[in-house]
Amino acid sequence: MCRIALDVMGGDYAPHSTLEGAGLALAAHDDLYLLLVGDETRLKSLVAHFGIRGDLAARTEIVHAPSVVTMEDKATSILKDKKDSSIRIAAQLVRDGRADGVVSMGHTGAAMVASKMILGTLPGVDRPCLASVMPNMIGGPTVLLDVGANLDSKPEHIAQFALMGALYAEEVLGIKRPKVGILSVGEEDGKGTDTTKSAAQVIKQLDLNFGGNAEGRDIWNGNFDVIACDGFVGNVVLKSSEALAEGILLGLRDSIMQGWLSQLGGMLAKPAMRRFMKKLDYVEYGGAPLLGVKGVSIIGHGRSNGRAVSSAIRAALLGCEHHVVERIQDSLAVLLSQATPT
């Protein structure tokens, strides 16, 4: 049985989306035990509405948290006036050994601070990093990390990101010997900054399936399974891609809705378009793992619906079952003992 603490109050549509996701995840995974963290009175009256009854309810407990971190709060508020917030209390459950992992769809910054400060960083990890599982054009996932704005990463940080991303891809996404790349401005070894070139040297010493430099287009074409980069470029690419994909899909829809003939066409083509858009959907891959902290931590999109929450819980469950945290810790110990400082 794996125990996951869910920040039920975090997310644009919480607690409804999170409870719906909890219900879906409990029904799908017999070995899942959920600690539902949030306003006790409110949650008690709501859980049954979301199908969490009988056998499912028996695998849950409600843990009271009186406050919520809102979008207006600073990320560091959990260290000061929001010490009793659902995200902080959910992280504390992992720290205290009452849960194996934590899942939040709330304030990304607060969830990162909670995971880093409350769970703490694994020995040997200089910087925990946020990985984004991008749906690529050949229908699989490509892990891009760091996207969590670790700025001015050093070569050894980027090598650690690569290693952690590879372990996540293998254990949670089920990719055998994932192909790892370093994000740069050209395929050739000589292309890139001193930092990316040194990072490549560090990664070459590790037991990874290293494919050299990846370019921007490789995030989407499926040529790599894991692409490591500094958090500045990762964050910019992630936000830019979300806006571009959404803009294209909304723009196409608006254009199609402008005439009755194309509206009819759009109706007929809708199932096919939906089928493709499902491939692009972040919902399938269940949120962004924060790697390098002492516990499984999955940070979902604020706009997550029930299905996305359920996927995020599933990702946390797989992370626990496959001992991703322990595997990262062990691999980093090897990395530290092998790698030549740069």
Report if residue 244 touches a copy of itself, rule: CB under 8 A: yes
In this chain, which of 53, 247, 326, 336 binds a copy of itself, going by CB under 8 A? Answer: 247
Contact (Cβ atoms closer than 8 angstroms) between residue 103 and residue 287: yes
CA distance 15 to 42: 9
Closest CA to 223 of 172, 178, 284: 178
Q: Does 243 bind a copy of itself (CB under 8 A)?
A: yes
Pick the stretch among 10-18, 81-89, 114-122, 227-235 that binds a copy of itself (CB under 8 A).
227-235
Residue 264 contacts a copy of itself per CB under 8 A: yes
Please report how close the Cβ of residue 265 comes to a copy of itself at its closest, in angstroms. 3
Query: Shortest Cβ distance from residue 288 to a copy of itself (Å)?
Result: 15
Quote the least distance from Cβ 279 to a copy of itself, whole Å: 7
Query: Least Å distance between CB 311 and a copy of itself?
Result: 21
Size of residue set near a copy of itself by CB under 8 A: 60
Return the residue of 54, 97, 190, 271 that touches a copy of itself, per CB under 8 A. Answer: 271
**One residue of 95, 216, 284, 329 binding a copy of itself per CB under 8 A:** 216
**How many of the other CB atoms lie within 10 Å of CB of 289?**
31
- Amino acid sitting at position 313: I
Query: Minimum CB separation from a copy of itself for residue 56, in Å?
Result: 35
237: left (phi over 0), alpha (psi -120 to 50) or beta: alpha
Question: What letter does residue 119 receive in the DSSP assignment?
Answer: I
Cβ neighbors of 244 (< 8 A, separation 6 or more) are none
Does 288 contact a copy of itself by CB under 8 A?
A: no
Could you tell me where the beta strands, DSSP code E, fall in the chain? Answer: 2-7, 32-38, 60-64, 101-104, 129-135, 141-145, 179-183, 209-214, 226-228, 288-291, 296-299
Query: Are the C-beta atoms of residues 94 and 111 closer than 8 Å to each other?
Result: no
Q: Is the Cβ of residue 57 or residue 245 nearer to a copy of itself in the bound state?
A: 245
58 touches a copy of itself by CB under 8 A: no
List interacting residues with a copy of itself (CB under 8 A). 137, 149, 151-152, 183-186, 192-194, 215-221, 229, 231-233, 235-245, 247-252, 254-256, 258-259, 261-262, 264-273, 275-276, 279-280
